[in-house]
Chains A and B, each alone.
Chain A
């Protein structure tokens, strides 16, 4: 049984997992849906009440029914590198590939339906609340007056994109940024705006969850840190990421979150305040983990590989001699 990894060639973070799968002699097929019809091929037939499908990439051929797991890591847009790429071809390729894969018995990290839903940050905030995680007071609005009133109640605010996406024409980044007290909120009318109470943090927390395994890392905020430097991705701090324990209450809430979200992988970001409370900021269902593993030595890649390599129910039936269908 094979592990299918959907990601780009340049994804060296995926390599970290492939190394462990290779060491365990677990068959792997890695492909980028962007290469469909230009290096990646597929075929599936539905005949006499059964399905047989195959994928081919890099000289490897794998049966769709022979997949034990699918890791949707960083796949490109289907068929976007085809000779005659088009929006229509992308939709055709997407339906063909993901439609076939959805019909197989493989386990997903993460299932595309769950992943799509989990990208909605407003949904994340509500689920975090329901799961028992502390969430900073947040407003998402297009009403300037609502923003003004929120700023009166919570004078120390940050703003960040609702979607987490960044504008591309021209390419720009929108870091989480502190909002000055005398800010004019008139432009809130021109786009949904996410305002959130700033957490005076003493550390950033990245909690990576793989199945039942929780691996937390902590990056302390320097005592002389600029309070306007809110976004850890843009911070100039040299403080290292270090392994840290997960408070039991947080661990229980995070497990509830992932169960409700139907995710098996999640990278949670928290801000730790002076009282030691972990405030939920977001959960990225395909969050990066390589930089944490490199700095902390935590075995995230190995844990992912072990999850992907776990036998499917079909495998277990096979071991028990109950298998009736050829692989």
Chain B
């Protein structure tokens, strides 16, 4: 009785890695532990994949 599309489902990949930055409400930006603005570090963003289009989001549609 499973809908057809779910025959093609796979377990969602849970992102368990902690991001090496935290939100600074004063700056309204995420800041790395050594004080740099995370968004300005493209190498870091590429490594973490936090800006990437993914599937399986709990809160948002495909992006």
A residues sitting closer than 8 Å to B (CB atoms) are: 9-10, 12-13, 15-16, 18-19, 28-30, 58-59, 74, 76-77, 119, 147, 159-168, 170-175, 177, 185, 187-188, 190-194, 206, 231, 233-234, 267, 282, 284, 286-291, 293-295, 301
* Contact assessment for A294 and B10 in the assembled complex, using a CB-CB cutoff below 8 Å: no
Q: Which of A29, A174, A175, A291 has the most CB of B within 10 A?
A: A174
B59: Cβ under 8 A from any A Cβ: yes
B residues in contact with A165, CB < 8 Å: 61-62
| 24 pairs of residues in contact across A and B, judged by CB atoms under 8 Å | A9-B23, A10-B30, A12-B19, A12-B51, A13-B51, A15-B37, A15-B39, A28-B28, A164-B61, A171-B58, A173-B9, A174-B9, A175-B8, A188-B4, A191-B5, A193-B4, A193-B5, A284-B63, A287-B63, A290-B51, A291-B49, A294-B45, A294-B46, A294-B51
Our pick among B30, B37, B56 for the contact of A173 (Cβ within 8 Å) is: B56
* Contact assessment for B23 and A10 in the assembled complex, using a CB-CB cutoff below 8 Å: yes
Type the 1/0 row for B1-33, where 1 means its CB is closer than 8 Å to any CB of A. Answer: 111111111111110000101010110111000
Question: How many residues of chain B have a CB within 8 Å of chain A?
Answer: 44
* Contact assessment for B56 and A172 in the assembled complex, using a CB-CB cutoff below 8 Å: yes
B residues sitting closer than 8 Å to A (CB atoms) are: 1-14, 19, 21, 23, 25-26, 28-30, 37-40, 42, 45-46, 49-63
Q: How far is the CB of B47 from chain A (nearest CB, A)?
A: 10
B residues in contact with A190, CB < 8 Å: 1-4
